[in-house]
A = this chain, B = another copy of it.
Amino acid sequence: MPPFWQKCIVTYIGFDLPSTEKALISRIRSQAARGKNVVAGIGDDAAVLRLPPGHQVLVTTDFTLEGVHFRRDWQPAESVGHRCLARGLSDIAAMGGEPVAVFLSLALPASLSQTWVDGFMSGFLALARKSAVGLAGGDTAESPDGILADVVVLGSVPAGTATLRSGARPGDRIYLSGELGGAAAAIREMSGKPRGRLKPVDYSRHFFPEPRLALGRLIRQKGLASAMIDISDGLSTDLAHICEESGMGAEIRAEAIPLASVGKPRHEVELELALHGGEDYELLFTAPRQKPIPPRIAGVPIHLIGHITRSRKVLLINRSGAGFDLRPQGWEHFRK
């Protein structure tokens, strides 16, 4: 049994915890894997983690709030658990890193059902297992209103090799993995029919997005990318981040942007969703023109969508060759 949660039991049980919190701790206690990087002393006053020699630490933290990042009537609990971990793992993938350990802090309303908590933990832990990373600690509290999760993912990279956003240079080509717009399409569908749930299998990119860990790691190991970011806020926003950090501009071709297929029957999403919808967790990267980039890496299709310019502007080029300013319109756009 991981000593951290053992400690939680001693600390918390005995006080008047809501039953959900007891259930949570007990579920974590029985299911959390220690993970290969977690030293035996885990979770004493702090967790103790081992890094490979000569590596640096990557750290990312993400809040997931009910009503902002999910709705209980839209996403099943398993999906909420999966998605809040996927966000952090995707950040590690975008640095070319290897996940080392995850920490989950949860504030839960006293009225929350044990079934929901169990579902959440199932989704969370299944993705952790799949990503070969252990849950090494966290915190719990009673929330006065709504569910709140704060997920911390620690990763590692050999010192000096993290793939940053700031390395894009004029003439570099811009590549994108997978397809875009699938996650935003689900949000749009659900906004249109407030009481109807979608089938996760028809919109898997939304309900169970796959962080591109193997892809990011290969890109970093082979030194393919000059800059990299994950698509969490939407292509228009995330490409703007690369340009901003690199002091560059970009041109991308509308017809080169891979559109996701969603729903039943399957249909392609509109370009608008692929440009501005977020949470697809694909990787966007730039590479020098002379660097050969294979059409698939780690089994994921790679698309050439444009190139970096000196202009400091981001242009979308349509079929007829006309260019339009592409303004960052991240996923928050869809919440309005």
Which residues from chain A sit less than 8 Å from chain B, CB to CB? 3, 6-7, 10-11, 14-16, 39, 41, 44-51, 53-54, 56-63, 65, 67-68, 90-92, 94-95, 97, 100-101, 103, 105, 107, 136-146, 148, 150, 152-155, 157, 159, 162, 164-166, 228-230, 233, 237, 240-241, 244-245, 328, 330, 332, 336
Contact of A105 among B61, B146, B240 (CB under 8 A): B61
Say which residue of B10, B15, B48, B230 sits within 8 Å of A244 (CB atoms).
B10
Chain B nearest Cβ from A282, distance in angstroms: 13
**Chain B: minimal CB distance from A162 (Å):** 5
Instruction: Count this chain's copies in the assembly.
Output: 2
Option from B10, B67, B91 in Cβ contact (under 8 Å) with A46:
B91
B92 adjacent to A59 (CB under 8 Å): no
CA distance A53 to B7 in the complex (A): 30
Q: Evaluate contact between B44 and A245: CB separation under 8 angstroms.
A: yes
Of all chain B residues, the one with the shortest Cβ separation from A41 is B164
Query: Across the interface, which residues of B come within 8 angstroms of A328, CB to CB?
Result: 10, 14
Asked if A68 and B10 sit within 8 Å, CB to CB, the answer is: no
Query: In the assembled complex, which residues on chain B have CB atoms less than 8 Å from the CB atom of A41?
Result: 162, 164, 166
In the assembled complex, the Cα of A148 lies from the Cα of B166 at a distance in Å of 32
Whether B7 pairs with A241 at a CB distance below 8 angstroms is: yes
- For A148, the chain B residues whose CB sits under 8 A away are 107, 143, 148
Whether A152 contacts B103 in the complex (CB less than 8 A), given A59-B47, A95-B45, A237-B11, comes out as yes
Given A91-B46, A144-B67: A7 and B245 interface contact (C-beta under 8 Å): yes
Are B7 and A103 in touch, CB under 8 angstroms?
Answer: no
Q: Given the complex, which residues of B lie within 8 Å of A155, measured CB to CB?
A: 46
Q: Which of B3, B230, B244 is in CB contact (< 8 Å) with A45?
A: B230
- Closest CB pairs A-B (n = 8): A45-B94, A46-B60, A150-B150, A46-B58, A145-B145, A45-B91, A49-B57, A63-B141
A58/B47 contact (C-beta < 8 A), A10-B241, A150-B105 known: yes
Question: How many angstroms between the C-alpha atoms of A233 and B11 in the bound complex?
Answer: 8
A314 to chain B, nearest CB (A): 12
Across the interface, A39 reaches (CB within 8 A) one of B45, B56, B60, B103, namely: B56
- Assembly CA distance A136 to B152 (angstroms): 13
- 30 A-B contact pairs sorted by A residue (CB < 8 Å): A3-B245, A6-B244, A39-B162, A41-B162, A44-B94, A44-B165, A45-B90, A45-B228, A45-B229, A46-B95, A46-B153, A47-B58, A48-B162, A49-B56, A49-B57, A51-B51, A53-B53, A53-B54, A57-B100, A59-B136, A59-B154, A61-B103, A61-B138, A61-B152, A62-B139, A65-B142, A139-B150, A143-B148, A144-B145, A145-B146
